[in-house]
Amino acid sequence: MSVSIDQEDALVTSTDPLHPANLISELCASFYRLGWVTGTGGGICIRTDDKVYIAPSGVQKERIEPSHIFVLPYPQAEPSPHTDRIFLRRPKLNLKESACTPLFWNAFTVRNAGSCIHTHSQNAVMATLLWEKEKMFKISHQEMIKGVRIGGNGPTLSYLDTLEVPIINNTPNEEDLKDSMKEAMEQYPRAAGILVLRHGIYVWGDDWQKAKTQTECLDYLLEIGVKMKLAGLPTVLNE
């Protein structure tokens, strides 16, 4: 697929603050301040109809610029370490697309998501350690549960519902989480995110606003759940 240099730059150049390239830069800086994407870890993607905008790998997340953003056509064969990826745009700098790319594609193909966020939040990591044997984080009767949607893009959960987030094992290479993440998403269709042991969490939504909102709500619930567990309090009532 051949696109001229001028056309490539036009894909990530806009004065609109809501353009995906501008949003990704802004959101990565915001997530950095929350401690979710320090050390260049974590990532975010936004899908708009036939294009996917993805942050680069190995770049200080608080310093990402729109010119650093990769653009891929959608749909295409699911990107993985073993398939060639088609790009509409690559940054002129010697950058690599996010290692999360195959996992972001899971959110598109399994949940028809419009955005996916990956954080290395310490709340998520602690939850995977405290619920490692159960392979499932569970919490109920918390107001913030109402900010999470069934499956990530269905109806919102109720205060009386029990939120469940599956935990999958980590792998040395991020891309190799693709299959186990997809299996967990299919096995637990009501899950709005996937926790990765000693690593972090993936959260998705219909668009960037819903993905961001659910990531914030889930991080709150993971934090309060960890505190309750360490205090000897049950995180699920009537179980």
Contacts of residue 236, defined as CB under 8 A and 6 or more positions apart, other chains included, come to: 138, 139, 140, 162
3-state secondary structure of 41: coil
Give the active site residues.
Answer: 143
**Span between the terminal Cα atoms of the chain, in Å:** 55
Q: Is 118 annotated as a binding residue?
A: yes
The size of the chain, in residues, is 239
Partnered with residue 56 across adjacent β-strands are 97
Cβ neighbours for 199, distance < 8 A, ≥ 6 positions apart: 120, 124, 125, 128, 170
Tell me if 19 is assigned to a ligand binding site.
no
Considering all CA atoms of the chain, what is the largest pairwise distance in Å, rounded to the nearest integer?
61
- Is 120 among the annotated ligand-binding positions? yes
Distance of CA 46 to the CA centre of its chain: 10
Give the C-alpha separation, 154 to 161, whole Å. 14
Write out the binding residues for Zn(2+).
Answer: 118, 120, 199
Write out the binding residues for substrate.
Answer: 100
Write out the binding residues.
Answer: 100, 118, 120, 199
